[in-house]
């Protein structure tokens, strides 16, 4: 049970870190990687973390 909570916490921290790092990018850098609106960053990270098995296995 503790492992489940810890795994979810680690996933949340990873997503938060990725979001913070992407928010530091310039608009040009975001355009270059295909993110055209900063408001989409959280949803893109959330979707990516669910679709990549390696992101959840730590």
Task: Return per-residue pLDDT of the chain as tens, 58 residues.
Answer: 788 999 999 999 999 999 999 999 999 999 999 999 999 999 999 999 888 765 445 5
Token pair recorded at residue 7? 């795994």
> Among 18, 28, 25, 23, which Cα is nearest to 39's?
23
pLDDT at 55: 46
Q: How does DSSP classify residue 38? A: G
Give a three-class secondary structure readout of 6-34: HHHHHHHHHHHHHHHHHHCCCHHHHHHCC
Q: Measured between alpha carbons, how far is 50 from 19 in angstroms, rounded to an integer?
A: 15
Q: How does DSSP classify residue 49? A: H
């Amino acid at each position: 049970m503790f492992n489940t909570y810890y795994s979810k916490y680690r996933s949340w921290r990873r997503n938060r870190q990725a979001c913070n790092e992407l928010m530091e990018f310039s608009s040009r850098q975001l355009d270059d990687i295909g993110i055209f609106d900063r408001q989409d960053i959280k949803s893109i990270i959330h979707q990516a973390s669910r679709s990549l098995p390696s992101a959840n296995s730590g």
